[in-house]
């Protein structure tokens, strides 16, 4: 079995999500190739773990990798927001829940779904099998204005209008069907100076389309709410993010749940009904990778880990 993904902030995850008692249940909401799960199961011999992933192919890689822990781990091919929304009320509550929101290197290198602008692959970008709109559908059928909004809102791309206009013009000559085609169109749509920056000029466009295709931000918001509901009192949620859009959602969610009252300051009295904080934020500032880790894996440089603990009431 070949593992191609480097799991970021592994030591920090082990530290902040270490068990506080015997027989704890963990959920790895984004198992990928199983790097974090393997570290947790290897380090803590008394825990049990549920591994989730929307991609059945990458979950098979994790299953093979985690065979030594048979009996302590089970696998579910599902989106994490669906799993948490339908968590059985008669099941043991999880004590630790981990989200690693980075896209696995497997998807860039082995999935063949057009995640990388360096590969001439079909333009899909689907992380799960139940999606109905691919990246190719978007770039070929969405109005230029809608495409521009997606690229700006999800990719924070300042040249979103120019890129969307170029895509609309290019598709008139024929469908845009591959990642390489898309990357080339974006490359030539932006100013020349922008083509030689720190990142490839198509990076933000690819990110935006992937997020839109998979509904990543909406899934995250829903999943955080339900993760907190099913989490055992005193349990912890850890979330690793890789860009500001995700991190903002997590930061604001934890901050909101740490408040005793969410009524506006101008309210004459409390009407929200919340009479206690729901979490304690463990990481007042996000945990970032060490210089050593960044040197070993440059892709880790943008990762941030935030952790909150559910208040026992």
162-214: pLDDT as tens digits: 999 999 999 999 999 999 999 999 999 999 999 988 889 999 999 999 999 99
Q: Give the total number of structural domains in the chain.
A: 2
CA–CA dist 158, 155 (Å, integer): 9
User: Mean of the per-residue pLDDT values for the chain?
Assistant: 93
- Of 214, 238, 256, which one is at a domain's C-terminal end? 214
Question: Does pLDDT of 263 surpass 90?
Answer: no
Span 139-159, mean pLDDT?
Answer: 98
CA–CA dist 145, 150 (Å, integer): 9
201 and 236 part of one domain: no
The whole-number pLDDT of residue 4 equals 57
- State which residues form the domain around 30: 10-107+216-310
Is residue 3 assigned to a domain? no
The whole-number pLDDT of residue 269 equals 72
Question: Does pLDDT of 59 surpass 80?
Answer: yes
The whole-number pLDDT of residue 271 equals 72
Distance set, CA 306 to CA 25, 233, 249, 268, 303 (Å): 20, 18, 11, 34, 10
Q: How confident is the model at residue 2 (pLDDT cuts 50, 70, 90)?
A: low
Is residue 100 assigned to a domain? yes
99 and 220 part of one domain: yes
Which has the closest alpha carbon to 149: 89, 104, 191, 209? Answer: 209
19-46: pLDDT as tens digits: 999 999 999 999 999 999 999 999 999 9
CA–CA dist 199, 237 (Å, integer): 31
The whole-number pLDDT of residue 54 equals 96
**CATH number of the domain enclosing 32:** 3.40.50.150
78 and 134 part of one domain: no
Question: Which structure tokens are listed for 147?
Answer: 């495409």
- Of 163, 183, 214, which one is at a domain's C-terminal end? 214
154 and 225 part of one domain: no
122 and 100 part of one domain: no
pTM of the model: 0.93
293 and 150 part of one domain: no
221 and 210 part of one domain: no
The whole-number pLDDT of residue 295 equals 92
């Amino acid at each position: 079995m070949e593992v191609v993904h480097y799991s970021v902030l592994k030591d920090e995850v082990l530290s902040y999500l270490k068990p506080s008692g015997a027989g704890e249940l963990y959920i790895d909401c984004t198992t990928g190739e199983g790097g974090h799960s393997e570290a947790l199961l290897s380090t803590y011999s008394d825990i049990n773990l549920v591994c989730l992933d929307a991609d059945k192919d990458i979950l098979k890689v994790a299953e093979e990798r985690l065979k030594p822990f048979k009996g302590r781990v089970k696998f579910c091919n599902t989106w994490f927001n669906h799993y948490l929304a339908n968590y059985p009320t008669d099941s043991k509550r999880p004590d630790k829940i981990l989200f690693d929101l980075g896209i696995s290197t497997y998807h860039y290198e082995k999935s063949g779904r057009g995640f990388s602008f360096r590969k001439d692959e079909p333009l899909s970008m689907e992380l799960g099998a139940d999606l109905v709109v691919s990246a190719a559908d978007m770039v070929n059928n969405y109005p230029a204005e809608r495409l521009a909004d997606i690229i700006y809102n999800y990719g924070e791309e300042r040249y979103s209008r120019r890129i969307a206009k170029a895509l609309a013009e290019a598709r008139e000559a024929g469908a845009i069907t591959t990642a390489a085609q898309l990357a080339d169109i974006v490359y030539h749509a932006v100013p020349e100076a922008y083509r030689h920056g720190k990142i490839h000029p198509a990076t933000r466009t690819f990110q935006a389309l992937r997020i839109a295709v998979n509904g990543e931000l909406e899934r995250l918001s829903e999943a955080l709410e339900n993760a907190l509901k099913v989490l055992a009192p005193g349990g912890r949620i850890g979330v690793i993010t890789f860009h500001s859009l995700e991190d903002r959602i997590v930061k604001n969610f934890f901050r909101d749940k740490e408040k005793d009252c969410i009524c506006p300051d101008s309210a004459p009295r409390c009407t929200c009904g919340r009479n206690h904080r729901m979490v304690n934020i463990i990481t007042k500032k996000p945990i970032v990778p060490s210089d050593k880790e960044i040197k070993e894996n440059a892709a880790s440089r943008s990762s941030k880990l935030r952790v909150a603990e559910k208040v026992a009431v």
